[in-house]
Amino acid sequence: MNQATPSKKVLVVEDEEDMIFIVERRLKGEGFKVTSAMSGAEALKKLNAERPDVVLLDVVLPDVDGFDLCRQIKTEIDPTIKVIVYTGKLEKVDVALARKSEADELVVKSEDLQTVVNTIQDFFDA
């Protein structure tokens, strides 16, 4: 398996500590530089300070809707940052909201983390 270049930065935005731990560990194991945020406000601070290449974004956050945060990233911060909406459910409304929010990809949390790794790696290989 190809290792990611260590300079490739990923911001994981997730409100569940256990999920952050699992995802961070896996992505770091693949060679990505990973930081995390547990709220929209914390994510915005890290986005402005660190300018990640990719954001793995949970939809349900304590202070903001993930779809709204995605739209804010794409329209107010940097449209070149790739955003993967990472949700526990996949219904037609979620797909529509992801498209409307300008998300680059939509991945279901129940899928193997390899799907997340492959999706992120594909952004860097493009």
Query: Contact at 8 Å (CB) between 109 and 87?
Result: yes
Is the CATH code 3.40.50.2300 the one for domain 9-121?
yes
Rounded distance between C-alpha atoms, residue 51 and residue 77, angstroms? 9
Given a cut of 60, whether residue 50 has pLDDT beyond it is: yes
State the pTM of this model. Answer: 0.91
Task: Provide Rg for the chain, Cα atoms.
Answer: 13
Task: Calculate mean pLDDT across residues 60-76.
Answer: 95
